[in-house]
Amino acid sequence: MREIVLDTETTGFDPEQGDRIVEIGAVELWNHLPTGQTWHQYVNPQRAMPQEAFEVHGLGDDFLRDKPVFSAVGQAFLDFIGDAKLVIHNAGFDMKFLNFELKRMGLPGLPWDRAIDTLAIARQKFPGSPASLDALCRRFGVDNSKREKHGALLDSEILAEVYLELVGGRQPDLVLAPGGAARTGTASEQVWRPRPRPIPLPSRLTADEEAAHAAFVAKLGDAAIWSRRR
């Protein structure tokens, strides 16, 4: 199962009022395991950066001026996410901006049911408790010390750890998806199977116990399962 954890930074709160995306970060998970594959892009919003937004993410006009516009990178973003589920904190916000930009490109929007909203999961799991990304980091002991300002890729990486905790602990499918088989094998190869020990454990039976067992089996006749040869 492929999932993409993603985050965006913007110039404000409402694309219908002229706000635009300025950064996208995305992290790939496969069967709840990070693969190391990421996608990151700064975007020229083609408008001035409000001071309130600059104070959140630190991305100013001078820095963004030579970055590509969304229409130049939108298809690359779609190619990266493919048809994977999208894990987003406060998904309504990011999906609104992404679909606005895709619509401007003349492309179909992302279906809302593709989004897994970690904010909604946290509020359902811990009703009445703070559910911000920083609050969840404190709850789960996820290191967010590098998060001095919001950054799309860093926040995606942190959210990936928080998401794995929300769904049952970090790397919950580790036993069921060993090595690279979960990523590249067929469906039948992805099913976990116990393997025999390279060196069998020594028997704990004493000689007297083995003799007593043999005598008991002898009384059962040739139909006893212990009498059948493998």
Q: Which residues are catalytic?
A: 150
Please state, as a whole number, how many other Cβ atoms lie within 10 Å of the Cβ of residue 184.
10
Q: How many CA atoms lie within 13 A of 131 on its CB side?
A: 17
Amino acid at 185: G
| CA R_g for the chain | 27
Cβ atoms of 177 and 190 within 8 Å: the answer is yes
* Torsions phi, psi for 162 (to 5 deg): -65, -40
d(CA 131, CA 153): 20
